[in-house]
Amino acid sequence: MDAKVAHKGLTIAGKSFGSRLMIGTSRYPNQQVMMDAIEASGAEIVTVAVRRVSLESGGEGLFDMLGDRFHLLPNTAGCYTARDAVLTAELAREALGTDWVKLEVIGDDETLFPDVEQLLRGAEELVKKGFIVLPYCNDDPITCRKLEDMGCAAVMPLAAPIGSGMGIRNPYNLRIIREQVSVPVIVDAGVGTASDAAVAMELGMDGILLNTAVAGARDPVGMARAMRLGIEAGRLAFESGRIPRKLYATASTPIEGAIEL
């Protein structure tokens, strides 16, 4: 990666990371493929579902495997109420010694959309308890502003339903969110391939969290590398500034001063 771009990493709650990609740990064929994909992605933040891992044999081994090499971001996946999410976050803090939490409070099993009322309630309580809260939310500017106002360290709007791979469905809302909040905006859910990641970054997003797009790919390691490059390219394009869109052509070679025939 270009040295000029490399230092422009992601900063959340005063902690800086060289990579703008966060990656999950579920649905991989096996742990070796998971580790190889995480390495290929260049991600420094790795998210783990506390409730699900704790129920699996070898769950503690996964935390041990990742903890020394990556910044662990426990998440509250599988929680449907603010109460359950808060209890899960407290369990993670006790077990892993981290105040960071990706807050998920799901409304139903079919869409996996957030339950906004429960999400806001859980976020407010966790912030009061001293957590660094990164909430998964709808692509709603109002909700994102409320989450920022109550002290969340970032907002994580979805681009499309979790695991759908549908890409950026509503770029306009994401742009409004980027303009209206000052904390980092991390696209969470819906990214399916590297071009989706590039588009998100070109919109000015600060980072992307993904899982299924890599874990479910035919070659997870190759896709992880593609996502890394897509994010780097999209961010560089955003910082460089694209040309304006025009209805009519503009000659790339000036005609002034050309030899008359």
Cβ neighbours of 225 (radius 10 Å) = 18
60-107: per-residue pLDDT in tens? 577 777 877 899 999 999 999 999 999 999 999 998 889 999 999 999
Arithmetic mean of pLDDT, 135-159: 97
Could you give the percent of the chain with pLDDT greater than 90? 72
Q: Poorest-confidence range of 40-44, 118-122, 250-254?
A: 250-254
Global pTM value: 0.87
Q: Where are the domains of the chain?
A: 3-240
| 3-state secondary structure at position 176 | helix
Question: Does residue 221 contact residue 36 with C-beta atoms inside 8 Å?
Answer: yes
Q: Is there a catalytic annotation at residue 102?
A: yes
Is-contact 156 209, C-beta < 8 A? yes
Q: Which of 102, 128, 129, 246 is catalytic?
A: 102
Identify the CA nearest to 75 among candidates 17, 116, 136, 13.
136
The secondary structure element, H or E, covering residue 11 is strand 10-12
Query: How confident is residue 42, by pLDDT bands cut at 50, 70 and 90?
Result: very high
Please state, rounded to an integer, the average pLDDT across all residues of the chain: 89
**pLDDT the model gives residue 65:** 78
Average pLDDT over residues 40-48: 95
Which superfamily does 3-240 belong to? Answer: Aldolase class I (3.20.20.70)
Looking at residues 192-209, what average pLDDT do you find? 96
